[in-house]
Amino acid sequence: MKPAAFEYHVPETVADVVAIVAEHGDEAKVIAGGQSLVPMLSMRLTRFEHLVDLNRVEELRGIERSNGDLVVAAMTRQAAAERAPEVAAVPLLQRAIPFIGHFQIRNRGTVGGSIAHADSASELPAVTLALDAELDLVGRGGERRVAASDFFVGTWTTSLADDEVLRAVRFPVWEGRCGFSVDEIARRSGDFALAGIVCAIEVDAADSVRRAAIAYFGMGPTPMRARSAEAALVGSNPSASDLEEIGRLAVADCSPAADVHASAEYRTSVGAHLARRAVERALGEARSG
Amino acid sequence: MAEHDITLTVNGQLRHGRAEARKTLADFLREDLALTGTHLGCEHGVCGACTVLVDGAAVRSCLMFAVQAADAEVTTIEGLAAPDGSLNPVQDAFREEHGLQCGFCTPGFVMTMHAFLLDNPAPTDDEIKEGLSGNVCRCTGYQGILQAARRAAGVMSS
């Protein structure tokens, strides 16, 4: 359980990070909190000639409001985001973070690291996708902004190029009568989710759904939007029995895999219940607002 | 591969060492600084036995490299008791409540509980269980550990 040898780089600016990453291409890997990467290195599931440590890059830390978005710099620790009062503006983010690992993991793990790692069973990619967040990437060619829907390509795979790093994530702030819910099924607290969901609902003055955003995690190779269920919700004022149908619609957009932890059938069954429950809770919160 | 000079503060003392970048903080503490109180169970971040404080925050020392702890302040299980040997409230509670059997996981549990109670001195029972959920014990059945946590919480909040 010892990682293979690597050359260690510890830049202090984003410009230096990009220069090192661009020089070494796919032989280099950036390390953020390391809570997923170090186990993979230790088990020798992967190895890199160069590790580029982002932990001393001060400009990659911090949380600010900008043009209606909550902008979280990539190296902001999950524990710091969990406690930051500004994060209350994005309840999905605030409520999803405590589901990540254990508090010791969140003390090291970062918001950007979890998103760039793109584990399909992890919480923050689903939050990013549900809210149509945007990701600021920086590379040799300069900066570009990518929609979450274009960022998650496959399991552990994103549209980040070899010479690019994630600088920040822009989470839209939902105003108005909104409700939110985050839920997951795991065997033990802190384990990888067998299936999970994030849901945001906005209702109008008559309690009808104006906006709905639902994303699953652990239900496919990437976080998955439940577009059919969202479309069915918008403009409606769903009753409890309608929500059963919403659950079935939501899970129909997913393609969960079977693994040693759960069968595809189990995930599909659980996914429908999660959607019904998450929509019910988010709707209740929105209507009471 | 090159070795790196590493200077850090461990349990209040300035310490130096040289290590390859791939050496974890846990291995560095044990092999280079002879602080073998920090135990390694799984070595991939699941069991919590290697929990130490880095700049006051509980972390798994198998999931960071020693070179990353340069200039940091690290507290290990050896640093919890007072200089005169009197036990920290969490250590004392573990002894009083039989919060251990073989003792292998104990340094991790004690460091975790110490950090957890500094942050939340009056936890509910559910919060205690959640706080301990990142540590694995294979012999006590956890009841003694929970009792110790409740006792320590009582002492630290009063």
The span from the first CA to the last CA of chain A, in angstroms, equals: 51
Specify the CATH number for A178-287; select among 3.40.50.11820, 1.10.287.3510, 3.30.390.50, 3.40.50.970. 3.30.390.50
Split at pLDDT 50, 70, 90, the class of A173 is very high
**Nearest chain A Cα distance for residue B68, angstroms:** 8
Q: What is the pTM of this model?
A: 0.96
Architecture of the domain whose range is A58-172 = 2-Layer Sandwich (3.30)
Helix or strand or coil: residue A212? strand
Architecture of the domain whose range is A7-53 = 2-Layer Sandwich (3.30)
> In which region does residue B141 sit, left (phi positive, over 0), alpha (psi from -120 to 50) or beta (all else)?
left
Q: Where are the domains of chain A?
A: 7-53, 58-172, 178-287
Q: Is A38 on the interface with B (CB under 8 A)?
A: yes
The sheet that has A7-9: what strands, in order across it?
A7-9, A50-53, A28-31
- Cβ separation B45–A38 shorter than 8 A: yes
Q: Is A139 on the interface with B (CB under 8 A)?
A: no
For A101-117, the pLDDT digits (tens) are 999 999 999 999 999 99
For B77-88, the pLDDT digits (tens) are 999 999 999 999
Q: Can you list the domains of chain B with their CATH numbers?
A: 3-79 (3.10.20.30), 89-157 (1.10.150.120)
pLDDT reported for residue A240: 87
Of B1, B4, B134, the CB nearest to A105: B134
Of B43, B57, B134, the CB nearest to A42: B43
Name A63's Cβ contacts closer than 8 Å, sequence gap at least 6.
A70, A71, A72, A73, A76, A80, A81, A84, A86, A87
As to burial, measured by CB atoms within 10 angstroms (0-12 exposed, 13-18 middle, 19+ buried), residue B2 is: exposed
The ipTM value here is 0.97
Of A39, A51, A103, the CB nearest to B134: A103
In a structure prediction context, what are the per-residue pLDDT tens digits for chain B, which is 158 residues long? Answer: 789 999 999 999 999 999 999 999 999 999 999 999 999 999 999 999 999 999 999 999 999 999 999 999 999 999 999 999 999 999 999 999 999 999 999 999 999 999 999 999 999 999 999 999 999 999 999 999 999 999 999 988 88
For A109-153, the pLDDT digits (tens) are 999 999 999 999 999 999 999 999 999 999 999 999 999 999 999
Residues of chain A in contact with residue B20, where contact means CB-CB under 8 angstroms, are 5
Q: Least CA distance to A40: which residue of chain B?
A: B44
Task: Give the integer Cα–Cα distance in Å for B24 and B64.
Answer: 6
pLDDT reported for residue A276: 97
Q: Is B6 on the interface with A (CB under 8 A)?
A: no
Distances in whole angstroms, Cα of residue B43 to Cα of each of A89, A191, B28: 37, 17, 13
Of A5, A34, A79, the CB nearest to B63: A34
**Nearest chain A Cα distance for residue B44, angstroms:** 5
For A35-76, the pLDDT digits (tens) are 999 999 999 999 999 999 999 999 999 999 999 999 999 999
Among A278, A277, A258, which Cα is nearest to A268's?
Answer: A258
pLDDT reported for residue A189: 84
Task: Give the integer Cα–Cα distance in Å for B15 and B8.
Answer: 6
